[in-house]
Structure 1
Amino acid sequence: IENFESPYNPIQVFNQGGGTILVNDAGLGVDLGVNNPTGSFAIELLTQNTFLDLELSALENEGTGEIVSQPKVLTGDKQKASIKTGTEIPYQNATSSGATSVQFKEAVLKLEVTPQITPDGRIVMDINVNQDSIGDILPTGEPVIDVTQVETKAIVGDGQTLVLGGLFQMSTVDTVEKVPFFGDIPYLGRLFRKDLDDMEKREILVFITPKILSEALLD
């Protein structure tokens, strides 16, 4: 293990807590400490992490949230850590000769954190959150990727959870309202059925829990 400049010679663990969770516009359902009524970027420290996993599970059970991922990564003092989750979108790209090839564009949620340990044992984090979402499709068939990026700095205690909020996703939800039985009749069923396209707004909450690991724990 490389010796770092910090006298603690630590390795950091990130996203030990809730990871990344999507919350729909029905609300949190439980109080996680994030107060963000205006829809702007928000940052909050959780003073009690004891019941965090239970609270996040309650969101999923109530249908108001979905845990997307719970990754962990090790890094050193003043060393950047990167976590990325998402998908690659395939599309056909035509060359000047007329040949086509399949290309890919990433639509991901990317988190970069650079920690630094203070003399009193707390952790300063430089945080960069990048949220991609699929936008319009160009006439060439190439997808447009909409990007939301947030950079911030925070200082937390060892094992304390930081919550980042204010990153939003808009998606179209297709629903069908129909009269039972009659709505399923071929051709005539359209008279008893209504197809709806609703826009759903979901907030992405990112939970970061850094922990200092001593050399004894790493052996």
Structure 2
Amino acid sequence: ALIEQDIQLPFTVTTFTGGAATSSVQMQSAKLSLKVKPQITADKAIIMDLEIHRDQPKDNPYGGQPILDKKTVKTKLLVDNGETVVLGGIFTRTTSQTEGGVPLLRRIPLLGWLFKKRLEKDQRGELLVFLTPTIIEKSATRGGVE
């Protein structure tokens, strides 16, 4: 099974031919995806091959185009029928600083700090995936496995 969310981001690509520069825009994909390949064992346990991909655009510290930050988790799990597992390990951190205040007055030496404010924001997050595999037995009324 594959669950995927995708966003297309524009990136400028510059090529040089004969001393002349030509710029064009190419779209690059940033995805959040979960891929699960389940197998049922003889004792009704479930083996799952899992892949999680998270691509996230970030600001380039050197200016210019954004950077595409790619993170991947791959694992293989053995889980009992109906048992819930939690998969994590993809962390994010965003920091920002802003300054504001009364124009001109905030620039007065020594007294300026009375007229300005500075806001620092540090946000952290973790992507957690909860999976509960369930075996659905063959139904006599439906004639097959769902």
**Scaled by the length of structure 1, what TM-score is found?**
0.49
Partners of 1:136 and 1:174 lie apart in 2 by: 14
Q: Which residues of 2 match residues 46-85 of structure 1 at below 5 A? A: 81-85=1-5
**Which of 79, 82, 89 is equivalent to 1:166?**
89
CA deviations on 1:2-45 (whole Å, 9 max, x unpaired) are xxxxxxxxxxxxxxxxxxxxxxxxxxxxxxxxxxxxxxxxxxxx
| Cα 1:175–1:121 shift into 2, 3 Å | farther
Partner of 2:14: 94
CA deviations on 1:153-190 (whole Å, 9 max, x unpaired) are 111122322101222111124566x8xxxx4x444367
Determine whether 1:195 maps to 2:113.
Answer: no
Partner of 2:57: 134
Contact 2:15 2:23 in 1 (8 A): yes
Q: Which residues of 2 match residues 5-154 of structure 1 at below 5 A? A: 81-96=1-16, 98-135=21-58, 137=60, 141-154=64-77
Q: CA deviation at 1:114?
A: 1.0
In terms of fraction of residues, the more strand-rich structure is 2
Tell me which amino acid in the other structure corresponds to 1:172. Answer: T
Number of aligned positions between the proteins:
133
Larger radius of gyration: 2
| Cα 1:132–1:94 shift into 2, 3 Å | same
| Cα 1:164–1:138 shift into 2, 3 Å | same
SS in 2 for 1:95: strand
SS in 2 for 1:212: coil
Partners of 1:138 and 1:173 lie apart in 2 by: 12
Q: CA deviation at 1:82?
A: 1.9
List runs of 5+ in structure 2 lacking aligned partners.
none
List runs of 5+ in structure 1 lacking aligned partners.
1-80
Tell me which amino acid in the other structure corresponds to 1:88. Answer: Q
Q: CA deviation at 1:125?
A: 0.4
Contact 1:107 1:132 in 2 (8 A): yes
Partners of 1:136 and 1:125 lie apart in 2 by: 35
Identical columns (%):
38
User: Looking at both structures, which has the greater relative contact order when contacts are Cα pairs under 8 Å and sequence separation is at least 6?
Assistant: 1
Partner of 1:41: none
SS in 2 for 1:137: coil
In terms of fraction of residues, the more helix-rich structure is 1
Partners of 2:63 and 2:12 lie apart in 1 by: 8
Q: CA deviation at 1:150?
A: 2.0
Partners of 2:30 and 2:136 lie apart in 1 by: 33
